[in-house]
């Protein structure tokens, strides 16, 4: 697949199933992420992969996050929150490990966003589907801790990877270019 064709045809999946990317493909996907622009060469990205039963740990952390925000959450709401970790056979939490210093925090987070976009394109080129999500769990200290991140770090994306069983729509966005 040519690069521009891949960019123009990539869309977020609605539903993903097995198989997940193989170990070799996952390495290619992550390596593509590490080729993102990175002011100061800080390499702020951190990748935490949850596969198989390990997704239950993430699901429990997501449910606990909901319980801490809404103490009287109904069991079905907690189950739905827990089930989010089961949306795909592989879930990768992509975080920004923030380094204090001359490189602004926003630039470090932006580098991780660019890394995720590279990863989504790489997954697409390898024949996999992906969804980039966040939600309240991305801001929860316990979820961050599960992923080896400190409270001041950021979860930039919860990336779901697998084989597309239901594709999302390819939405054309209007292009507006202001020339000065």
Cα–Cα distance measured from residue 120 to residue 114, given in angstroms and rounded to the nearest whole number: 10
Find the CATH number of the domain harbouring 146: 3.40.109.10
Q: For residues 35 and 29, give the distance between their C-alpha atoms in angstroms, rounded to a whole number.
A: 10
> Residue 72 falls within a domain, yes or no?
no
Residue 173: its pLDDT value, please?
84
The H or E element containing residue 72 is none
Residue 178 lies in a domain: no
Q: What is the domain extent for residue 120?
A: 3-51+87-166
Q: How many structural domains is the chain composed of?
A: 1
Read out DSSP for 37-65?
Answer: --GGG---EEEEEEEGGGHHHHHHHHHHH
Q: Which residues pair with 154 in a beta bridge?
A: 96
11, part of any domain: yes
In a domain, 149, yes or no: yes
Distance CA 104, CA 83 (A): 36
- Three-state SS at 142: helix
The pair of three-digit structure tokens given for residue 54, joined into one six-digit string: 């390990």
Q: Is there a domain that residue 63 lies in?
A: no
Q: How far apart, in Å, are the Cα atoms of 102 and each of 16, 33, 109, 112?
A: 41, 23, 14, 17
pLDDT of residue 32: 98
Q: Is residue 146 part of a domain?
A: yes
- Residues 74-86 have pLDDT tens digits of 999 999 999 999 9
172 is a domain residue? no
Q: Whole-model pTM?
A: 0.94
Residue 33's SS3 state is: helix
> pLDDT tens across 18-28, in order?
999 999 999 99
Classify residue 130: in a domain, yes or no. Answer: yes
Q: Which tens digit of pLDDT belongs to each residue from 35-62? A: 999 999 999 999 999 999 999 999 999 9
């Amino acid at each position: 697949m040519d690069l521009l064709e891949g960019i123009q045809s990539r869309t977020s999946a609605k539903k993903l199933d097995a198989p997940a990317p193989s170990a070799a493909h996952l390495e290619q996907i992550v390596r593509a992420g590490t080729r993102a622009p990175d002011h100061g060469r800080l390499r702020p990205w951190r990748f935490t992969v949850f596969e198989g039963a390990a997704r239950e740990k993430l699901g429990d952390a997501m449910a606990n996050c909901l319980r801490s925000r809404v103490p009287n959450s109904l069991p079905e709401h907690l189950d739905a929150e827990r089930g989010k970790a089961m949306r795909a056979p592989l879930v990768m939490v992509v975080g920004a490990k923030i380094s204090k210093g001359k490189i602004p925090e926003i630039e470090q987070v932006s580098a991780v966003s660019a890394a995720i976009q590279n990863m989504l394109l790489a997954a697409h080129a390898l024949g996999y589907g992906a969804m980039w999500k966040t939600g309240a769990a991305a801001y929860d200290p316990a979820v961050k801790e599960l992923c080896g991140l400190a409270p001041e770090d950021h979860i930039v994306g919860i990336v779901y990877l697998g084989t597309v069983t239901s594709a999302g729509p390819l939405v054309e966005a209007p292009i507006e270019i202001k020339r000065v």
